[in-house]
Amino acid sequence: FCSVRVSQATTIVFSLGILSCRRFRCRRTMTAPEMRWRAGGARERAPALAALTASPFAANPWRACRGRATRVKKGARIAVTATAGGGDTDFARLETLLAADNQLEAVALAKSSSSLRAFGNGRGVPKRSYTLEELRLNKIDTREFLAPEDSTLDDVRNKLQLAALAGAGAAYATHAIPTMTLVGNMIGLAFLLTADQVANAGGFEALAVDSIARVVSPTYAKRVALHEAGHFLVAYLTGFLPKSYTLSSLDAFMTTRRLNVQAGTTFCDAAFQEEISSGRLKSSSLDVYACVALAGVATEWLRFGRAEGGLADIMQLDNLMRGLGFTQKKADDEVRFAVLNTVTLLRTHRAVHDRLSKAMMERQSVSQCIRVIEGGIDDKDLLAGESSTESY
């Protein structure tokens, strides 16, 4: 009986160790080479990414964002009724529209409802070119801000590798598992993991490592929740309506029934996608996209001193600017503005951010999360902005 139990335990430990041998560098599926944008100075650049296509965000679970000024198709009609002080009625209507994936009406409601006064009206910094010195004066470390390293998941993998080696060694030394059985387990697991990489882009491995990290790391779940709440909050304040969110690989799998989707936030991006398809992207749309892309990294840097997740978000931003043919100077200006604006919004609304992350961990609906934002923001921190008509 004891021999059988040792055999089973060793097989499980060895299986987890095999899982840890594969690399999954961020909380979202990432297939492009690693690159790190820095707000200035020396850069570590990856080979040029693919040129901008009609839908450059297809591989990104949290997708892209759009500006407050959007074009809709000619002839399209949006019928939205928003009563003054609509209160619960507008929140309920918004939840219905989001559930039906009626993005244009949901965005129109958010813009017209007096209950959603913070939508697109976050008070950030003026849009202009900023220097590195100005970022430093705002206590932003440009050397570390955009260089996320997922040390928590790396630590989990390393521990699983050690556990696997110890388990295999113990099994061999005590003969708890026959040598041929041990070799057979190794071959079988290697085949399964290879199949997972081919069929699911490593989705099963990501799900396993993410789930284990939530058990062994006391701060990992909170970090992910704050990261996604950062995306949610900055998007809402800059005029990009959140549609749904997940906070773990398991949640994402239960929602989509696909293994290669990680924790993330999705948005109502129909109008943004139309701009991309038309080949004319407004500067205001790019500004919002850049801020939302960097919000998760900014959150972790502000709360924990460094970022672990968000590398794929940075790569998507780099991909977009490369596709638009940005010069290095123009890209620097865009990134510096987005960094300063995003950090300013997150610092100003820190208390709201905390309450939002708590609501998301309690799995409240998108409309309930928006209610948390609206209930915690003072009118003095809101400023209606003007959208630029410049296109790229």
List CB contacts of 386: < 8 A, sequence separation 6 or more. Answer: none
List CB contacts of 311: < 8 A, sequence separation 6 or more. Answer: 25, 26, 30, 34, 36, 148, 150
Q: Flag whether pLDDT at 138 surpasses 80.
A: yes
Q: Shortest CA distance to 150 belongs to which of 357, 317, 340, 297?
A: 297
Q: Shortest CA distance to 228 belongs to which of 264, 266, 268?
A: 264
pLDDT for the residue numbered 360: 96
Q: What sections of 203-310 are H helices per DSSP?
A: 203-216, 220-237, 249-256, 270-278, 283-304
pLDDT band at 234 (very low <50, low <70, confident <90, very high): very high
pLDDT for the residue numbered 193: 65
pLDDT band at 43 (very low <50, low <70, confident <90, very high): very low
Summarised one tens digit per residue, pLDDT across range 312-371 is: 899 999 999 998 899 999 999 999 999 999 999 999 999 999 999 999 999 999 999 999
pLDDT band at 255 (very low <50, low <70, confident <90, very high): confident
Element (H, E) at 199: helix 179-200
pLDDT > 70 in the chain, percent: 66
**Coil/strand/helix, residue 187:** helix
One DSSP character per residue, 360-378 reads HHTT--HHHHHHHHHHH--
Give the phi and the psi of residue 224 in degrees, each rounded to 5.
Answer: -65, -40
Q: Flag whether pLDDT at 17 surpasses 90.
A: no
pLDDT for the residue numbered 350: 97
Q: Flag whether pLDDT at 262 surpasses 70.
A: yes
Q: Higher confidence at residue 196 or residue 207? A: 207
CB 326 within 8 A of CB 42: no
The average pLDDT across 231-237 equals 97
Mean pLDDT of the chain: 75
